[in-house]
Structure 1
């Protein structure tokens, strides 16, 4: 079953993070960060099978170089709390062939990001053993560029106007104003849009490969499933667990999985009990219907038997006497039926 995990985060200078470092980590390359004058290199990183930079037509061609691109993206950000890049980790369905991993991610990134003016730096990771956890690291620029490839401001000042369309002067003498974003890439709606589009394209590739599995990126709650989600472990925790070292997150996930398994067993038991009760109810209805049918035929049969016995008793009578006796018996039967109806 394809894993639905995906994680979006922002590389923030206030958290002592670096876009150059993020690019070095996902690409496996040795990069030099001009901001802090340090080399970024993660020599222990393994399983990197593909790297690629995608950019719109107005981007400078030198941004095809990873070191140039991310140092330029950091250099334009002057604030101590600047947002440097958007980072996304996408799980790739292991049910599709490995030679389609990069094709899948490239198509998705071109449709959703490059078309809007973002530069995309993505890498495919397929850690050992190959095929058990393929995923993509996607790094996105935060600023738009003009037609000459120059970074544009993230926001612009907009003056507030009164009902007459005039600027509003504050007591300080300044004009009242507010900031508006030049692009809406930070709008929360895009998280939902991108997650949905990633789900759609994965399912399209699964279908094209004649695979029955499908991806559903909705939360368990939105799918109507009473399941407790596990906590994302991350590479460090997974490595420790793989070496037999138990971690707090690993223990928590084991407890969650055990609880989900127990709840599933209880739900299955309740489902089976409901089915059993329904089956008993249907059987009871059948028995009652059979009993009613038997009772419906029992009285007429008894009366017919009674009439036959009485007729046999009068076989030596004259025809007139037999007719009078039959008439009298029918009257008695009619009175008996009337009495039974009255008594229910």
Structure 2
């Protein structure tokens, strides 16, 4: 595809994994916009500023349960209902390299099209009005005014709307194909799930990770995966023990196994044959003895009450770990964008000193650095506009404090896991006693 703005030809034919590409247009769009080159050259020509945003990109994962034809039908329906019917031109490409990650990239135009097929304005001037609906003088012979968008396409609330629409479309497609609807656009937090979400790596970090180069975001995700695994394991253990101890504690007094009987029974559990196994078994017995003695547990009711306390403590620790990990992910991203801003700031300053006749060539040669600088600058500006201060050193100090506290909480969580393992020996012993009781021969009384 030839860019008529700079005369450069871009060859995408060798880009692998593209299984389908298509342009969808609103009814009043010029038919020639169905040609990708004509569409995007027209978009470039209408924009005059160097930093103009030319398009909006949306990326969405496609369900692997659907066939290629079903995935295409899903994308077409979603694009038509949410973008094309609103007046946007959409250029989408479905990628699938066979690695289990089918997804779609959707490029959307930002300017509205007039009924005659010409590009309209992105924004217009609107006058400020007083309480009587009259224009307000600016003291300079004119009127106070502001700029407002000509469409609602840039509303921040659209992100939520488009995500919800994608979830709904995907679930309908899954159900039509005989699969359960499993897609939920809401975050773990909004769904009441204390699972830590991973951070988005982005293309640069993803490529580095694939080459074996460890990145900050990759390290965050690895720690998040380890935390989630630990939390899931402990939750499963504590739920089993809570339900078991509750059922045992509710039995009549004479039917409850005593702690002495359980202790003796767990001592008789099958012993490992290996030296390492025997040592581990002795350590587990010692841990169980210490747990019972330290908590003064002498009955099943007391054991159940302790496990209930541990369950409460588990949720407290999990909440703190999840909260810390989420905050660390946010601060890590801020720090990376600050580093990116400083790394390419010099190139941006050099551009300002370049003579006008050489400016275009400089931009071509340093397009990657300038794009990364602009992305970082835009991110930091939005952060500042939201009321946050740009304080990289404070961000790092907070990360260090959160990491230290999370390590303490994680140590407590791991200690709880060891206690739960010890109590599981009692449950196994109770199961063994119950089997022995069932297997006892019944006294049928004297034969007549």
TM-score norm. by structure 1 comes to: 0.69
5+ residue gaps, structure 1, are 1-30, 289-344
Deviation at 1:67, TM superposition (A): 0.9
CA distance in 1, matches of 2:231, 2:113: 52
CA distance in 2, matches of 1:43, 1:240: 24
Aligned pair 1:144/2:147, yes or no? no
Aligned pair 1:65/2:65, yes or no? no
Alignment correspondent of 1:322 = none
| Aligned counterpart for 1:101 among listed residues 59, 71, 80 | 71
| Aligned counterpart for 2:249 among listed residues 270, 281, 286 | 281
1:91-130 alignment to 2 at 5 Å?
91-129=61-99
Alignment correspondent of 1:185 = 153
Alignment correspondent of 1:33 = 3
Q: Deviations over 1:212-238 (max 9, x none)?
A: 351112111111111111122344544
Deviates more, 1:113-122 or 1:172-181: 172-181
Alignment correspondent of 2:183 = 215
The alignment yields a C-alpha RMSD, in angstroms, of: 2.2
Deviation at 1:242, TM superposition (A): 4.5
Q: Deviations over 1:181-218 (max 9, x none)?
A: 11001111111111011001111111111113511121
TM-score norm. by structure 2 comes to: 0.54
Count of aligned pairs? 256
Deviation at 1:245, TM superposition (A): 4.8
Deviation at 1:148, TM superposition (A): 0.4
CA distance in 2, matches of 1:168, 1:50: 54
SS at match of 2:42: helix
SS at match of 2:69: helix
5+ residue gaps, structure 2, are 257-448
Deviation at 1:123, TM superposition (A): 0.5
| Aligned counterpart for 1:75 among listed residues 45, 48, 51 | 45
1:175-254 alignment to 2 at 5 Å?
175-242=143-210, 244-254=212-222
Greater RCO between the two (CA within 8 Å, min separation 6)?
1
